Amino acid sequence: MTVHTVSFLPHNREIQVPEGTVLIRAAMEAGVHINASCGGEGVCGKCRVIVESGEVAGGISEQLSPEDREKGYRLACKSLVTGDVTVRVPVESAIDTSVLKQSYVPRKTARIRQMDLNDLKEQGLFLPPVEKIYIELPEPDNQDHLPDVTRLVSHLKLHHDEHRLTVSLPVIRKIPDVLRKDGFRVTATLARPVMESGKTEIVNVQPGDTSDRIYAIAMDIGTTTIYGQLIDLKSGAVLAEKGDFNGQISYGEDVISRIVFAEKAGGLEQLQKVAAETINKIVNGIVRRSKVDPDDIAAITLAGNTTMTQLLLKINPRYIRRSPYVPASTLYPPIRAVDIGLDMGDHVTALVYPAVSSYVGGDIVAGVMGSGMYRDERLTLFMDIGTNAEIVIGNRDWLACAACSAGPAFEGGGIKFGMRAAKGAIEDFSLDPTTWEPMLMTIGNVRPKGICGSGLIIMIAVMFELGLIDNLGKFNRDLATDRIREDNGVWEYVLARAEETQIDRDIALTEIDIENLIRAKGAIYSGCMTLLAEVGMDKADIERIILAGGFGSYVDLEKAMTIGLLPEIEPEKVTFIGNSSLMGAKMSSLTNRIRRDVVEVTRSMTNFELSETPSYMDNYVAALFLPHTDMERFPRLKERLSRRRDNA
């Protein structure tokens, strides 16, 4: 990947960005404010900059006169970095950044390096749950009347150190014909037991030598989306991946609404059917894309929250939402994929990740396993943030977990112009503390049509730090700007005028929106603090934070601490890992060791029901401020606010 240096004058800021980065996004990353309100589509014409040296691609627009172009003016939102470049932000596009310099913190972009096949081999962990063995059997004759199954099993026991073998009836039915298709040269697929004391099962036989072609599928069964990967069990490589919306969203956006639907006549059957159909659509897509033979797929690993798992397995989820909130099971045996409606060979084994409780499910367990925190000595706080936030704390010696309901604010729900992260969603924001004019960036660099969760966090953090809103989330109505206004009794800040948007009306952030965000972040922060207290720990004891999930991968770390969503610790201690559920499913496909470990981890993980923990409500009420009632918990923010007041 080619990287170039972008220098911004008169700020004397430099940042390195990949080739092709949009100039205005480079400015955002460098903490340089350039006026912009159209989301990067190039229609407002406010993001004018002068290219003093180097070159950029694009940036020429009808918003610029021929004279401006001759002087080197370009629109930052349409200019692509193609080499080292020095850019001057003219006075009409810039602000006095002396105050902003005090609070500038580089974006956190670290990622956990997922273990690959070599890592597993070095640690002695590489042993996939399924394996293919090619064998050449002696053909029967007048002196050798061994039954076909006995011939196959005996050879495997004698030559491949397989002592406890079983064969199912569907495989027995295939063996006679398969053995004779290629002169008793066959490949047997073996499914290893979870525990060493268990039996290995012959799950498939194929004519000839297909031992170099063995694959598995890893699936994350999310409430909103389902993702799948096709994995080569010889190389450990992901050959194809695909995601799609969970078909169940037509029957309810969240797990509670789906449980309610499942209680209706035929509801459970319908939800199971559409979940299986979504998985089949994804599996068929990645199989076609990778051009593998479906008969060479030997296993599918499934990780989802407790409700999604029970719905997929057609298990009544009714009691998950009723006190005392008891799931049907936390552990599931290996299942034939066809028995749960998956369009796969009858030899394919479905391995379902176990759960801990009704609201800490297999997706979180998969994340704990995939991230490796259960084998790490460091005290780690693992968080998967969404409508429900799951929290795990511990290390290789012990683990504790809890779940709290954050509400839909982080996914755009309950926000007047909220939306999921999609093209046109405002994802980044900056503010001129003199004119109070905004700088907006949208996903796809198009006109804005709403606000996504990560953008909402940045917005409120910036507004709070610059004094546009107070610690209760109320706008400062004395500021000299017409962007703060009252509409039907609700105060709001206009982010984009109607003519700058895709929806032909003003997009605004309201005090009600801010209140909903404060409630959501308060629930998560108080969940963390309550869990820490219950295990006799404090924020100072945290050595590492792992943020999981799509939302966690995009949230700006410093801004999340500014609003009190995360405990304030050194940014270097925080890592994003993306879809940890899918990561864990993949790792279980590559090593039976994790499948064995996960049983012990699940059984040993202590679950806390926050609704039944007295201190949780006290912590929650204290967190209903920006960032908190106790500013001593956020010393770096307190210092920045103090310096800002001194410079005002």
21 is written with which tokens?
A: 């980065």
* Residue 56 amino acid letter: V
pLDDT reading at 574 higher than 60: yes
Q: Is the pLDDT of residue 96 over 60?
A: no
394 assigned to some structural domain: yes
> Using an 8 Å Cβ cutoff, are 121 and 593 in contact?
no
What is the signed CA dihedral for 282, 283, 284, 287, rounded to 10 degrees?
Answer: 120
Query: So what's the pLDDT on residue 110?
Result: 44
Does residue 449 register a pLDDT over 60? yes
In the numeric block, which tokens belong to residue 15?
Answer: 């940042």
Tokens read off for 468: 């546009």
Q: pLDDT band for 637, please (50, 70, 90 cuts).
A: very high
Per-residue pLDDT tens over the stretch 332-347: 988 999 999 999 999 9
pLDDT of residue 150: 94
| pLDDT score at 467 | 95
Q: What is the DSSP string of 501-558?
A: SSSSS-EEEEHHHHHHHHHHHHHHHHHHHHHHHHTT--GGG--EEEEEHHHHHHS-HH
Q: Confidence class of residue 115 from pLDDT cuts 50, 70 and 90? A: low
Which residues lie closer than 8 Å to 401 by C-beta, 6 or more apart? 356, 357, 360, 364, 390, 391, 392, 393, 531, 605, 606, 607, 608
Q: Sorting pLDDT into bands at 50, 70 and 90, what band is 109?
A: very low
Q: Are strands 606-608 and 225-232 parallel, antiparallel or unpaired?
A: unpaired
- Listed residues 72, 94, 116: the one ending a domain: 94
Q: For 429-435, what is the mean pLDDT?
A: 91
| pLDDT tens digits for range 508-563 | 999 999 999 999 999 999 999 999 999 999 999 999 999 987 666 677 889 999 99
Q: Calculate mean pLDDT across residues 154-158.
A: 89
Q: How far apart are CA 637 and CA 557, in angstroms?
A: 13
- 493 versus 443: the higher-pLDDT residue is 493
Domain-located, residue 180? yes
Answer whether residue 258 shows pLDDT above 80: yes
Could you tell me which of 567, 563, 565, 463 has the C-alpha nearest to residue 524?
565
Cα separation, 262 vs 317, whole angstroms: 7
Where is average pLDDT lowest: 32-41, 115-124, 281-290, 328-337? 115-124
Domain count of the fold of the chain: 5
Distance of alpha carbon 6 from alpha carbon 30, whole angstroms: 9
pLDDT of residue 97: 37
Q: What is the pTM of this model?
A: 0.80
Domain boundary among 154, 174, 207: 207
Q: What percent of the chain has pLDDT over 90?
A: 62
Whether residue 103 is predicted with pLDDT greater than 60 in this model: the reply is no
Q: Report whether pLDDT(101) > 50.
A: no
∠ CA 538-540-542, nearest 5°, is 85
Residues 424 and 311 in one domain: no
- Residue 392 maps to which CATH number? 3.30.420
Residue 429: inside a domain: yes
Q: Between residues 276 and 488, which one has the greater pLDDT?
A: 276
Please work out, in degrees rounded to the nearest 5, the angle formed at the alpha carbon of residue 255 by the alpha carbons of 531 and 600.
Answer: 50
What is the bridge-based pairing of β-strands 380-384 and 544-548?
parallel
**Percentage of the chain with pLDDT > 70?**
94
The pLDDT tens digits of the residues spanning 180-233 come to 999 999 999 999 887 767 788 999 999 999 999 999 999 999 988 899 999 999
Does 123 reside within a domain?
Answer: no
Residues 175 and 196 in one domain: yes
How confident is the model at residue 552, as a pLDDT?
66
CB 355 within 8 A of CB 330: yes
In a domain, 104, yes or no: no
Considering the domain architecture, whether residues 242 and 330 belong to the same structural domain is answered as yes
Buried b (16+ CB within 10 A) or exposed e, 376-402: eeebbbbbbbbbbbbbbbbbeeebbbb
Q: What is the DSSP letter of 78?
A: G
- Same domain for 163 and 246, yes or no, is no
100, pLDDT greater than 50 = no
**Is 362 part of a structural domain of the chain?**
no
Instruction: Please report the pLDDT score of residue 388 as a whole number.
Output: 79
517 near 456, Cβ under 8 Å?
Answer: yes
Cβ pair 171, 202 in contact under 8 A: yes
79 plus 200 within the same structural domain: no
Q: What is the pLDDT of residues 364-392, one digit of tens each?
A: 999 999 888 999 999 999 999 877 789 99
Please indicate, yes or no, whether residues 398 and 523 belong to a single structural domain of this protein. yes
193 and 224 inside one domain: no
Q: Give the pLDDT of residue 107.
A: 45
Q: Are residues 403 and 421 in the same domain?
A: no
- Is there a single domain that holds both residue 269 and residue 338? yes
Residue 633 has pLDDT above 90, yes or no: yes
Q: What is the CATH number of the domain that holds 292?
A: 3.30.420.480
Q: Which of 474, 533, 519 is nearest to 620 (CA)?
A: 519
Last residue of a domain, one of 94, 117, 143: 94
pLDDT-based confidence at 99, cuts 50/70/90? very low
pLDDT tens, position by position, 494-511: 999 999 998 878 999 999
Residues in the chain: 648
Is the domain of 534 the same as that of 392?
yes
In a domain, 25, yes or no: yes
CB 261 within 8 A of CB 288: no
What span, in angstroms and rounded, lies between the C-alpha atoms of 544 and 477?
40
Structural domain including 600 reads 367-408+518-647
Residue 35, in any domain of the structure? yes
| pLDDT reading at 169 higher than 80 | yes
**Is 329 found in the same domain as 220?**
yes
CATH of the domain at 69: 3.10.20.30
Q: 37: pLDDT confidence band, cut at 50, 70 and 90?
A: low
Taking a C-beta distance cutoff of 8 angstroms, is the pair 125, 594 a contact?
yes
Are residues 524 and 394 part of one domain? Answer: yes
Work out the average pLDDT over 247-266.
Answer: 88
In this predicted model, what pLDDT tens digit does every residue of 456-487 receive, in sequence order? 999 999 999 999 999 999 999 999 999 999 99
Integer CA distances (angstroms), 638 to 18, 96, 595, 626, 630, in order: 34, 22, 46, 11, 10
Sheet strands (E) in 98-168? 130-136, 165-167
